[in-house]
Structure 1
Amino acid sequence: MNIEFAWPWFFAALPLPLLALLLPRAANATPPALHFPFYDALQIRLQSYTGQRSRSRLILAVLTWLLLVLAAARPQLIGETVHLPVSGRSLMLAVDLSGSMQTKDMRINGHQISRLAAVKLVAGQFINKRKGDRLGLILFGDEAYLQVPLTFDRKTVHTLLDEAQIGMAGKQTAIGDAIGLAIKRLRKEPARNRILILLTDGTNTAGNVDPLKAADLAAEEGVRIYTIGIGSGEMEVQTLFGPRRVATGDLDEASLKAIASKTHGRYFRARDTAQLAKIYTLLDRIEPVSKEKQSWRPVNELYFWPLGAAFLLSVLIALSAAFGQRVTSAPAEVRHA
């Protein structure tokens, strides 16, 4: 850290008060007065007193002027250099919260977990890696809702994804509406950086927008869509005759592939958490985090400190002058008497 001055040329004003010495002095007119024997001794003591006060006020005035010039030069505390990555992507996540996402057909470490739990686990790790990218979160069920607008705050995106619950957006699946909402939010971003990652385990069963028409609009707006179909397609259940595998889900892979193809994205199939993790790793390679950086140094203004000190000193000077005037008025009254 170091201190710099934004307007150092103000220091050229420091000698300006010296110009007052070049001005002619005011003539002192001595009014008529009566002579008192004790007045001369009193006058000598008062002159000594007022001389000391005048020197004190002069010192205060000089300090006040120095502080005012210092404040005018705008001293600034310059912090250490901070490097910030330049965002290379505006990336929106759209996560299905329909009722089927609670199906426990995903495995991790030999344990069955729900599809949504798998998404939270793996997508959370993906979010944490996207340092420098702007991330947003859409949750969809019967309708699509913007849970987090595009932001650099990865922690908030991760937290709100973890807090998402099955059914909070409805029990059905509005894929088209989710794509439409993402387009609306990505439209103002640079064309090459508009990305949507859509995770779903079913087919479009709700909403006002057809997914394929929404994909056509996304292609026109330059939004690349990576679709991820989640779910193993079967799960193990316990019956009276032992464990049995049953089919789960009605994933519309044809539509998801068509959406990805129309928008120059890709379709992925995640049958377990390991495959889902590989998909996100692949997405990191396809859409890498920007390595460019911007540098800046934080600046804290300090001018208010010398300005405040100058104000306090000016108050002291005013009080001193007022008090001195009352003291020196006494001999004048005696002299005119």
Structure 2
Amino acid sequence: MIEWVWPYVLLLAPLPALLRWLWRPLANRQAALTVPDVSSFRLQPESALTGRTRRLHWRPALLWLAWLALLTAAARPQWTGEPVTLPTTGRDLMLAVDISGSMGTEDMQLADQLVDRLTVVKQVVADFVAARQGDRVGLILFGTNAYLQAPLTFDLASVERLLNEAPVGIAGGKTAIGDAIGLAVKRLRAHPDGDRVLILLTDGANNVGEVAPTKAAELAAAEAIRIYTIGVGAEQMRMPGIFGALGSRLINPSAELDENTLTRIADATGGRYFRARNTAKLL
């Protein structure tokens, strides 16, 4: 069946005729602004109609058709079929993804190429979300601040798209893990029925924010929300020296990762902590 998004737009159909009717008296008083009378388009014998006259004869009808077509498009007709019932699992999953500046560190491999951490997270999370048919999934992005990017929804494609569009550092350069957990608890609390899970991916330590991560974990535990934490980042990375490979040295790019706190968060809520040192560990 056909449904209209904005059906009231069709009420504007008689607007041109109304404007013409209102304009005619004013035109009669101003000789310099005359409007041809409808009688100028009256039917004439076929022999009296020149090519130009025939075109003028059809012009009002064409203008009306164009106006009606414009209104029809503006009203947005949509063909809807039978409603489809989506399978549901009763599980609500909130993803909290760190997009702070350090997520731009290029220490991960993807398709045999060196890429930054956020690129790998986006790829892995996209595959994870696509497999969550029947689950409601939401998305929180955090750096210095935590933002709800997508509320819990069955529209998994939108969640994936919103994550893919997020650049490194858009939420600030620091890491507010506690605030991200607190925001997730607030959103999941509104859905008390079913299994509620928070998956938090980060490469650092909490160094900003109003809520301590452990305190936020206690709030989550009180609401029966399980938190799975994932620490992202390689353990070794070769830094070139002044002369390129000569004088290069190995460093730990994940030195700031607070695995102890991430483990405590997971344990306090009945979840688990995972260490993703490479792309394979994230899969």
**TM-score, length of structure 2 as denominator length:** 0.68
Which of 264, 268, 279 is the matching residue for 1:273? 279
Q: Secondary structure at the match of 1:190?
A: coil
Q: Deviations over 1:13-68 (max 9, x none)?
A: xxxxxxxxxxxxxxxxxxxxxxxxxxxxxxxxxxxxxxxxxxxxxxxxxxxxxxxx
Matched, 1:246 2:251: yes
1:103 corresponds to which residue?
105
Q: CA deviation at 1:80?
A: 6.2
CA RMSD of aligned residues (A): 1.9
- Residue 189 of structure 1 corresponds to which residue in structure 2? 191
Task: Give the counterpart letter for 1:147 in structure 2.
Answer: Q
State the one-letter code of the partner of 1:252: D
Determine which structure has more spread, i.e. the larger CA radius of gyration.
1
Please tell me whether the aligned partners of residues 178 and 214 of structure 2 are also in contact (alpha carbons under 8 angstroms).
Answer: yes
Residue matched to 1:226: 228
SS in 2 for 1:145: strand
CA distance in 2, matches of 1:114, 1:96: 13
TM-score (norm 1): 0.57
| 4+ long deviations beyond 3 Å | 79-83
Q: Compute the displacement of 1:245 (Å).
A: 2.4
CA contact (8 A) 1:191 1:222 kept: no
| Bigger helix share | 1
Instruction: Give the corresponding residue for 2:14.
Output: none
Counting aligned pairs with the same residue, the percent is 57
Alignment partners' CA distance in 2, 1:106 and 1:114 = 6
Q: What does 1:40-119 correspond to in 2, within 5 Å?
A: 82-119=84-121
Counterpart code for 1:247:
N
- Specify the SS of the correspondent of 2:238: strand
Instruction: Give the C-alpha shift of residue 86 in structure 1.
Output: 1.6
1:1-337 alignment to 2 at 5 Å? 82-239=84-241, 240=243, 241=246, 244-249=249-254, 250-277=256-283
Between 234-243 and 224-233, the greater mean CA deviation after superposition: 234-243
Aligned length: 201
Whether contact under 8 Å (2:90, 2:193) holds in the other structure is no
> Which stretches in structure 2 are left out of the alignment for 5+ residues?
1-80
Measured in 1, the distance between the counterparts of 2:226 and 2:238 equals 36
Question: Hey, what's the Cα distance between the residues in 2 that align with 1:192 and 1:266?
Answer: 19
Change (3 A) 1:133 1:245: same
Partner Cα separation in structure 2 for residue 152 and residue 83 of structure 1:
12
SS of 1:172's equivalent in the other structure is coil
